[in-house]
């Protein structure tokens, strides 16, 4: 049975970085849960920090360097993607966005993507929903329902049964990705066309 191709994109700038740590935790959980299905995974990690100069040059010249070309090919040929960015000023990093700007708009069509982010405080967690998720939806990827945000205070906590600890969120998101790849169901329910109520009817129902 052919191994799944999983590409992990990490946009952390420091070395080591919490962004790469979160990416590794999500990867490990996904590989572990797919192993329970009897499936193997080939993992390729793309460290955007190492490609920053090539990404910038690509915007000027229109031609990717060898490293960037290999990263683009890996993402294009992947069965699924884990994409993790640090949050700066309530949005994804410029390096993260620039990388996906140089990829063909059709490269991610129908591809499962698990999105995640890191930041200093929990106040920036909604950036995943108002910035990162719309980015991949625009690229027509299948964005998994659970997005994982890790603030500084989340590291080292396992959850107390009352709160949703980071390890639990990681396993839930990775489980969704593993289930989708293993063919056990869609990442999110899709309503049949006949169940969609036209907007005009919804407005009419609100009238008194």
pTM exceeding the 0.85 threshold for the entire prediction? no
pLDDT value at position 89? 85
pLDDT value at position 90? 85
pLDDT value at position 49? 96
Question: Which residues, other chains included, contact 18 with Cβ-Cβ below 8 Å and sequence gap of 6+?
Answer: 12, 86, 118, 150, 152, 155
pLDDT value at position 207? 54
pLDDT value at position 2? 87
pLDDT value at position 152? 84
pLDDT value at position 116? 97
Residue 167 φ/ψ, nearest 5 degrees: -60, -35
pLDDT value at position 14? 85
pLDDT value at position 10? 97
Tens place of pLDDT for every residue, the chain, 208 residues? 789 999 999 999 988 889 999 999 999 999 999 999 899 999 999 999 999 999 999 999 999 999 999 999 999 999 999 999 999 988 999 999 999 999 999 999 999 999 999 998 787 788 999 999 999 999 999 999 999 999 988 876 554 443 468 999 999 999 999 999 988 544 443 333 434 445 455 545 555 4
């Amino acid at each position: 049975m052919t191994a799944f191709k999983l590409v992990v994109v990490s946009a952390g700038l420091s070395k080591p970085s919490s962004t790469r740590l979160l990416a590794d935790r999500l990867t490990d959980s996904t590989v572990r849960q797919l192993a329970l299905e009897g499936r193997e995974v080939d993992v390729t990690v793309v460290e955007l920090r190492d490609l920053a100069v090539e990404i910038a040059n690509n915007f000027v010249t229109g031609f990717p360097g060898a490293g960037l070309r290999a990263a683009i090919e890996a993402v294009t040929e992947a069965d699924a993607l884990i994409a993790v960015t640090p949050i700066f000023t309530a949005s994804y990093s410029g390096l993260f966005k620039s990388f996906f700007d140089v990829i063909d708009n059709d490269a991610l069509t129908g591809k499962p993507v698990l999105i995640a982010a890191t930041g200093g405080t929990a106040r920036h967690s909604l950036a995943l929903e108002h910035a990162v998720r719309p980015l991949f939806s625009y690229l027509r990827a299948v964005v998994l329902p659970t997005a994982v945000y890790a603030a500084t205070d989340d590291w080292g906590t396992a959850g107390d049964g009352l709160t949703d600890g980071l390890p639990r969120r990681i396993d839930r998101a990775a489980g969704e990705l593993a289930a989708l790849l293993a063919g056990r169901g869609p990442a999110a329910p899709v309503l049949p066309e006949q169940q969609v109520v036209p907007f005009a009817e919804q407005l009419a129902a609100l009238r008194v």
